[in-house]
């Protein structure tokens, strides 16, 4: 770890160390008084539901591409991937930088969909959606954004159902995973310091 980690390394680091993901951005805000207040304000602003209706449609469409529903295997819809994402983004333990990065990606992809097909991403057909995502993945920014959204989607697939994804353990059942015991009785949300 000679230098700052790339996005991809950060994700792998988080995966292998059983650690969490975190991405800069919030640090300056966290460490000086005036901007700390700004951070608190931002945290409170997203304490309710984070995604608006259009964003919800957008993320549902992208997550259905990332994890399609198939015969005998759950997809984004069956694991409540977008509902999970909405809840996760309102958790203060999730870095605000992640929220900002996800939002920035929405703008980019919606713009590409409108330029190419004249409609919102959620309204173009599935094959065109897939092509848009594949094209964007060739950019480093697209690769990182897809990785970030995929992590939240995999959390919805394989996290404990108390967090709102993986209803009835449908993801565990598909992949024949036996969860550890005891399971959490409630989701853990970090206090908004």
Binding site for other proteins (CB under 8 A): 1-5, 8-24, 26-27, 30-31, 65-68, 70, 73, 91, 93-95, 130, 133, 137, 143, 146-147, 150-151, 154-155, 157-160, 162-163, 171-172, 175-185, 187-188, 190, 193
Query: Helices in 32-139 by DSSP H: which ranges?
Result: 33-45, 53-66, 81-89, 96-117, 126-137
Structure tokens at 175: 């992949």
CA distance 96 to 27: 10
Distance CA 40, CA 23 (A): 17
Reading the block at residue 78, the tokens are 């069956």
- By beta-carbon proximity to other proteins, the closer residue of 118 and 159 is 159
Beta carbon nearer to other proteins, 118 or 178: 178
Write down the least CB distance from residue 102 to other proteins, Å.
15
Q: From the CB of 162, what's the least distance to other proteins, in Å?
A: 8
Nearer to other proteins, 53 or 184 (CB): 184
Compute the least distance from the CB of residue 15 to other proteins, in Å.
4
Helices and strands: H and E segment counts in the chain: 9, 0
As given in the structure block, the two tokens for residue 105 are 């990606």
The nearer residue to other proteins, 115 or 185, going by C-beta atoms, is 185
């Amino acid at each position: 770890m000679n230098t700052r980690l790339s996005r991809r390394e950060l994700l792998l680091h988080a995966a292998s160390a059983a650690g969490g993901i975190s991405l800069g951005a919030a640090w300056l805000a966290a460490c000086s008084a005036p901007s700390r207040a700004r951070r608190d304000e931002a945290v409170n602003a997203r304490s309710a539901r984070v995604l608006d209706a259009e964003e919800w449609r957008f993320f549902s469409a992208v997550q259905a591409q990332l994890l399609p529903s198939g015969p005998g295997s759950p997809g984004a819809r069956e694991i409540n991937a977008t509902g999970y994402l909405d809840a996760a983004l309102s958790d203060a333990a999730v870095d605000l930088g992640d929220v900002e990065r996800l939002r920035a990606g929405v703008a980019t992809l919606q713009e590409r969909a409108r330029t190419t097909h004249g409609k919102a991403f959620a309204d173009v057909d599935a094959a065109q959606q897939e092509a848009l995502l594949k094209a964007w993945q060739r950019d480093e920014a697209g690769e990182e954004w897809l990785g970030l959204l995929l992590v939240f989607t995999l959390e919805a697939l394989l996290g404990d159902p108390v967090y709102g994804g993986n209803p009835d353990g449908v993801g565990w059942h598909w992949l024949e995973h036996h969860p550890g015991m005891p399971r959490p009785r409630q989701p853990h949300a970090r206090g908004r310091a």
